[in-house]
Structure 1
């Protein structure tokens, strides 16, 4: 019994000594459970391997892609489905537009799972009468004569990428139109991993 008491005193003494050696700022990370590590709480010194200073995320965030300088503007006339709409250009010409870089589920006669939700989402992002910034990629039109465009809403949201990131469509590269293909692929992977939108419902 005396040996047990002596052992307890030694353990307490070691803990106190460690705490004092670390400036009294030692704390257990991870809740003190299995695998918890001891931290001194010292913010100085080497930060390699840790999170970027200031908590800034590395890489390109989906909504950080801004419309290019000198982008043309159009006025939204009508959203047909999650990736197709009608818009008027600066000359008042009504154009059928196919969003580049994604594919959303079908609606109507050949309706697919989550098609109505994707359509509703695009209508929420681009209400009729709203003005958007647009940009072409390598090919201005598809074989059906639709304008192939990237769109940015008035609040700066990159619509094509937003739809994929939120699980309303999947990334799709057609022909040479690949300016934002890496970001679209990454957005789909994240949406799948998070079971967002259609990845959970369908």
Structure 2
């Protein structure tokens, strides 16, 4: 009799693990310092607009920097930094913007994870943006080669992951690095 009970324990444990796994799969991402928002539109490759508590907010994705998608002051700075002309930068910026837009749909739920500093000097929210499938948008963009790492302390939580993704994307010639 005791032997039969012992045989039952592994099956019971497997059943518990399987049923707990299924329970969490459809639940939204719940992390510390995270709020739910509704995606509205893409501004450029590293900036989106969300509806948060009934207000539209611009969100700058922490830890990444995409080329500018229009001619502006920052595009000329990137020209000096990269050695590419402004038109090339804007074309690459449009590719980055398209990639970001391909990951989002208007009305989609997103989850904003904040780091130490929550707003930049322009009043934009600073966040790591998580999707329902538990992927981080910031990381997807840089891992697919559409951004450079940009570390602005004190927001450094995923700095090493982003640098490694950037290195691999560049090595593989992904995104902006095709043909380099």
**TM-score, length basis structure 2:** 0.71
What aligned pairs does 1:49-198 form with structure 2 within 5 A after superposition? Answer: 68-69=31-32, 71-89=34-52, 91-110=53-72, 112=89, 113-198=91-176
The whole-number CA distance in structure 2 between the counterparts of 1:126 and 1:153 is 9
Q: CA RMSD in A?
A: 1.7
Contact 1:170 1:188 in 2 (8 A): yes
Q: Provide the secondary structure at the position in 1 that maps to 2:157.
A: coil
SS at match of 1:122: helix
C-alpha displacement of 1:200: 2.1
SS at match of 2:71: helix
Which structure has the larger Rg?
1
- Alpha-carbon contact 1:67-1:135 (below 8 Å) kept: no
Is the Cα–Cα contact under 8 Å of residues 33 and 113 in structure 2 kept in the other structure? no
1:188 alignment partner, SS class: helix
User: CA–CA distance in 2 between the matches of 1:181 and 1:109?
Assistant: 28
Gaps of 5+ in 2: 1-28, 73-86
Listed as ranges, the gaps of 5+ residues in structure 1 are 1-65
Instruction: Normalising by structure 1, report the TM-score.
Output: 0.63
Aligned CA distance change for structure 1 residues 147 and 67 (closer, same or farther; 3 Å): same
Contact 1:167-1:191 within 8 A present in 2 as well? yes
The structural deviation recorded for 1:114 is 1.4
CA deviations over 1:17-57 (Å, ceiling 9, x no partner): xxxxxxxxxxxxxxxxxxxxxxxxxxxxxxxxxxxxxxxxx
Aligned residues: 136
C-alpha distance in 2 between matches for 1:121 and 1:67 = 26
Relative contact order: is structure 1 or structure 2 higher (C-alpha 8 Å, sep ≥ 6)? Answer: 2
* Distance in 2 separating the partners of 1:133 and 1:188: 23
